[in-house]
Chain A
């Protein structure tokens, strides 16, 4: 971290950049620095994700704020020789704005970052996640210390309630209220669970937070534990996130050693410890009751609610389940105050939200924006517009549970309620941009295939209903559909939404219903003229 060195080279160590050899890049930089004798002057720091995965691996040189993209290990020598020794930019490694085709040197001048506001991702790309001291240097564990030494649990809950923070996992349930419910249910043993079973296709904000800033989640869990009266927390994390698991393990060990996890934290009588539980990659385990069943060692399938986990959760004890991103917001809320937090965002959705921007935009990556931002700003400013000369057709938010938004809604202020009102949802923050080369029937079919496979099979509508929806969509994409099929899709979709047992089934028809709502003509084109205007459905003609 930022100490007395002349330069710091922050190299992204997130999963995306690592898969493109950022580890080798770090080694190469160190080697070259050593060779030229600059090791004392310049430090290479492997940080968490910068979010700009499209252009990885990324190096940010501080304090110059110079941002290099798509850096290969072989570029290490050039960067050291040019930037470190001669003080010159390596021009060809600088980012070029897609619209203007001109190089941008500094991170804060890049459109991708300009409109972002990083609260949950505040430390990602800034600190070395494997060093607790770096976290402490950016006020880490100060919130926990403050809470434990100066506040009562009720005060903590009131503060979180006042911030109006809502759950970032998809449901948007007020976090403070959830804490209060769990607090009120008296029991000698309660649990905090961090839901890190991120499963939406394309969404990876939770992984990035855990990889880039694991301590913020640990700290927030301890704060939540204090608030509700729990001394034990579990992080339920997908086993497919090995790097996040590794960094969490390192962080937990360091936190225990530092005394910010374990017994008698901050010299109070509050104890709190955290254990990891690995998920086996079932999407439905992101649903809290299914998650709890899985932690208990049972089959990962949901239970009917009530009882809610706040009354009877893990091992029938009151349990508070919050998502990774939700937790990451807690320490700043404590330190900066609820008024600060609730001053950001829209009327009913406060703070920021991280979106995984993907699809046909120029800048793909993780973006954290204030609630209430216009969809247009995300796509055209942060995302740098649509790739090539193509036209925006739709934006799918909320992953397999969400719906699509068309160009006419580009100026809608994005928050939990506005998205629901136009037939989509926030979900965990997936945002896939589509152009005219995307077939909406095929998109709906893709998502249904996902939910059909990920349904736990417990309730009839989800188990058989989604299968039937998928079959009808397959028929249509083969040009074998009928107009009656559209009515059947709507009726069945509605029934699945209304009568499924858990959130998975209650939202799984959304992609079908919303594409059908906005692109009925495209469905009819498949049915009547056996034509796929986007040219995606094989075996059909392709006339636009």
Chain B
């Protein structure tokens, strides 16, 4: 059978691969067919092909009804028309129907000007809704610390379900009820808080409207900044600096580290610190823990634990395996802890007066910061978490012309970081950073080639063997919780061959996090952020965590031995088996 077929779209003939849909073929022919529910994150392996919105309907010769372009495979000799009155009217009516059951509070909607439904209504030139009628009025679920579910804004594209069930295999969101009453929600429409949701935020990342958004914590940050009693410290995760620029019209993959530090200073934070510092501390602790486990016959493989969604996943879905992850707290929690102990003591500031704000690419970090077991002396290590998107909103609200800001440095000492910590922002980065340290510590030799290309890439499951001291260290990497599940099943059945595994809940790692600027279905954006992360690593003078001078001082002056007693008290935690709901 020939691998390609010829199809004619609006009189234009194109030859395309046999497995193409009409939509793919139209792209090839340079013809735009509007879509809404459709989403294809190619290399990140998420495809939503529910064909439920019926916005991409086209005419196909000899077919009595219209065909959804997103889900109809091409065949040889197919004659397609996308521009007839019949097709255009049908598409417009589908959007009109959606709008007839959608709030029109666009001006005050969190997705205003970022909403795919709004953009579509504009694109299809909709000026009136001919079929208005009853509208659903559902309760807004703001029960959780992380995700708000605003069902009235849901258009049932079901992308969130695909993300939650097929990609993340969490199985929290699915369609409930039927007919006009159909909604998407957890089983029995339980409040999100009462479910096993990991808050990975991938549902938020793919939602075309404001049906799923992060909990907005911006007002709390403004409040803290304007409270004269508060000493407000901010920290930024590695993945922020390669994504924030997108919110200000910059190319995906633009590195804005310097402007980011400058912008935060303009907002009035008392200290602008970098979560990368905490990442370097994490590596010191985690590398020691791995060596310790390997030398003492401890539990292997060791799993990374910096991703809170992933931690929540294992607690709920694999409660029998909660002793497998590293006990290290995540980098921003470590940074928060160090700010409220070491930094506070050193600068004689009452930790109760310090507010730590984390800028994260992540929705789950909001819920993580609220986990009481991570607090030290009854105060949270991190007080407020806002996402990259929320920071963008704040900067706009503050009237900061981001583009024109000078490049500035982070504040001393918790702004010092290495290339190893920057790569935490991408899948494969944490384990690569750990290997750089483990190698030098176990061999005593200097590692000259610090880039482990075998650990890099975008495939959902990767593995590599790193020879250290004559021993082959087997590394596994998974991003996306569905991929993680496969590795966990191996561990559960005793078949895992790895020494260490890195797991990130979000496809791509933190660069593809649920709190990042919307990618609108374009996986290239996520890949460009990844390239930028590696570029940022190359720009750093020091590229190994254990050589971060400020980290070394922290241990020397305060913590003592890495993985020692005080380090354990402050920087490590334990995980709890939880019920799956």
Contacts and interface: CB of A to CB of B under 8 A. Distances in A.
Nearest to A471: B133
Contact of A463 (B55, B65, B93, B179): B179
Contact of A499 (B54, B100, B174, B179): B54
B180 A301 contact: no
B134 interface: yes
Tell me which of B55, B66, B73, B155 has the highest count of chain A C-beta atoms within 10 A of its own C-beta: B66
A455 interface: yes
A455 B97 contact: no
A498 B66 contact: yes
Contact of A461 (B50, B97, B179): B97
A499 B72 CA distance: 13
A259 interface: no
Best-buried of A454, A456, A506 by chain B (most CB within 10 Å): A456
A298 to B, nearest CB: 9
B51 A495 contact: no
A498 B53 contact: no
B182 interface: yes
A498 B90 contact: yes
A465 B178 contact: no
Contacts of B180: 452, 455, 457, 463-464, 466-467
B66 to A, nearest CB: 5
A304 B175 CA distance: 17
A501 interface: yes
B415 interface: no
Contact of B182 (A306, A456, A468, A492): A456
B308 interface: no
Contacts of A284: 178
A459 B101 CA distance: 14
B177 interface: yes
Given A467-B133, A501-B54, A506-B65, A495 B90 contact: yes
B16 to A, nearest CB: 17
B509 interface: no
B131 A457 contact: no
A139 interface: no
Interface in A179-237: none
Given A464-B101, A492-B93, A495-B93, A500 B181 contact: no
A114 interface: no
B179 A468 contact: no
A304 B68 contact: yes
Contacts of B158: 458
Nearest to A467: B180
Contacts of A497: 65
Task: Describe A's contact surface by its main secondary structure.
Answer: helix
Contact of A488 (B65, B94, B97, B131): B131
Contact of B133 (A282, A468, A500, A506): A468
A460 interface: yes
Contacts of A41: none
Contacts, number: 110
Contacts of A498: 57, 65-66, 86, 90
B296 interface: no
Contacts of A452: 179-180
A465 B53 CA distance: 12
A5 interface: no
A116 B425 CA distance: 75
Contacts of B169: none
A299 interface: yes
Given A452-B180, A457-B175, A464-B180, A501 B51 contact: yes
Given A458-B175, A460-B97, A492-B93, A467 B54 contact: no
B122 interface: no
Contact of A304 (B51, B89, B90, B94): B51
Interface string A276-300: 0000001010000000000000010
Give the residue among A301, A467, A498 with the most B Cβ atoms within 10 A: A498
A453 interface: yes
Given A282-B178, A471-B134, A495-B93, A458 B65 contact: no
B178 A455 contact: yes
B18 interface: no
A458 B156 contact: yes
Given A454-B179, A458-B50, A458-B175, A495 B89 contact: yes
A282 B178 CA distance: 9
Interface in B77-98: 86, 89-90, 93-94, 97-98
Contacts of A468: 97, 100, 131, 133
A498 B63 CA distance: 10
B54 A460 contact: yes
Nearest to A487: B130
A465 B52 CA distance: 13
Contact of A301 (B68, B131, B155, B175): B175
A500 B93 CA distance: 12
A81 B521 CA distance: 82
B134 A467 contact: yes
Nearest to B68: A304
Interface string B117-131: 000000000000011
B20 to A, nearest CB: 13
A457 B156 contact: yes
Given A465-B97, A495-B89, A498-B90, A455 B49 contact: no
A501 B52 contact: yes
Given A465-B97, A471-B133, A460 B53 contact: yes
Contacts of B71: 304
A477 B27 CA distance: 47
Contact of B181 (A282, A304, A457, A492): A457
A497 B98 CA distance: 17
A499 B90 contact: yes
A425 to B, nearest CB: 13
Contacts of A458: 50, 52, 156, 158, 175, 182
Contacts of A491: 89, 93
A459 B50 CA distance: 9
Contacts of B57: 498-499
A426 B178 CA distance: 26
Given A304-B71, A498-B66, A461 B94 contact: yes
B6 to A, nearest CB: 19
Contacts of B177: 457
A464 B65 contact: no
A464 B97 contact: yes
A461 B133 CA distance: 14
Interface string A465-503: 111100100000000000000001001100101111100
A463 B134 contact: no
Nearest to A492: B131
A464 B102 CA distance: 11
A497 B66 CA distance: 9
A499 B89 contact: no
A499 B131 contact: no
Interface in A409-457: 452-457
Interface in A356-396: none
A457 B65 contact: no
Contact of B130 (A463, A488, A501): A488
A505 B272 CA distance: 57
A56 B51 CA distance: 48
Interface of A: 282, 284, 299, 301, 304, 306, 452-461, 463-468, 471, 488, 491-492, 495, 497-501, 506
Given A467-B134, A506-B65, 20 more contacts: A452-B180, A453-B179, A457-B156, A457-B179, A458-B50, A458-B156, A459-B54, A460-B53, A460-B94, A461-B94, A463-B179, A463-B180, A467-B133, A468-B131, A492-B131, A495-B90, A498-B57, A498-B65, A498-B90, A499-B66
13 contacts: A454-B178, A457-B180, A460-B98, A460-B155, A461-B54, A461-B97, A465-B131, A466-B180, A467-B179, A468-B133, A471-B133, A471-B134, A501-B52
